[in-house]
Each structure stands twice: as structure tokens, then as C-alpha cells.
Amino acid sequence: MNKENTNRLTKEFPDLYSDVNKSPIAGLMCFGFECGDGWFELIYKLSKEISKCDPTVRAIQVKEKYGTLRFYVWSGEDEIYELIEQAKLKSAKTCEVCGMPGSLRGKSWLVTLCENCWRREEGRSITTWMAS
């Protein structure tokens, strides 16, 4: 995720992302948001819902895995985990690059992309397009 989106999330939800500047021993938020900017709105809404539901919850890691959003927290009630699960399901239908409607694609490496981003990225390696 780009620096602007990262800064917005960490400034608007400082308690949820309080470990972002700590060592990896405290959690993996020190590596930032390990996903594309297309999921920013999804993560923003999830952050807002979690913070409203329980302001003591802290994020451990936010990343893409197997083409969908993974959002790990230190602890939380069932309601928090349900919110996270719903966001994961939405991420499988949201392009990780641009945020438009998308679908899971790929064979050995899964990604969630819209048709346009899939066509544009199809010939490139996964590590190349995630870095851009």
C-alpha cells in the first residue's frame, strides 16, 4: 500500500495500528500494509467498524494471502472476527490494484484483479506488479 494511504490509516486509527512503528517482536505491523491500494477502502471501513466495536483491539498484521485480505488482531470478540471475515470475503471480489469489482485469478499464485488489471498484469511476474 502506498505511503499516503498508510499514513491516513495510521493517523485516523492510531490505537488499532499502534504497533506500526514497533519492532517485529511486537507484531508484524512494522512491515506496513502488505497489499495493494485497491483494498484501501475495504481496510478503512473495516478499521472504522473494529474501532467503533472495540477500541482496545490492536492489529498484528494486514496483508494479502492466497488472493484475499488477511487481517490479524491480538484479541477480540466474535463480532470483530465476523467483521474481519466479511472483509476477507469482499476482498475476493475487489481488485487489489484499483478497487474495482474483481475476482480471484491465477494458478500457482492467486490474486484478486478486475479484468483490466488482469490483462495489464498477465504477462508480468507477480513480484514485479506488486512492487509497482
DSSP string, the chain: --HHHHHHHHHHSTTTTTTTTS-TTT-GGGG-EES-GGGHHHHHHHHHHHHHH-TT--EEEEEEETTEEEEEES---HHHHHHHHHHHHHHTTB-TTT-SB-EEE-SSS-EEE-HHHHHHHTTS-HHHHHH-
- pLDDT per residue rounded down to tens, the chain (132 residues): 999 999 999 999 999 999 998 888 878 998 999 999 999 999 999 999 999 999 999 999 999 999 999 999 988 899 999 999 999 999 999 999 999 999 999 877 899 999 999 988 766 655 555 555
pTM of the model: 0.88
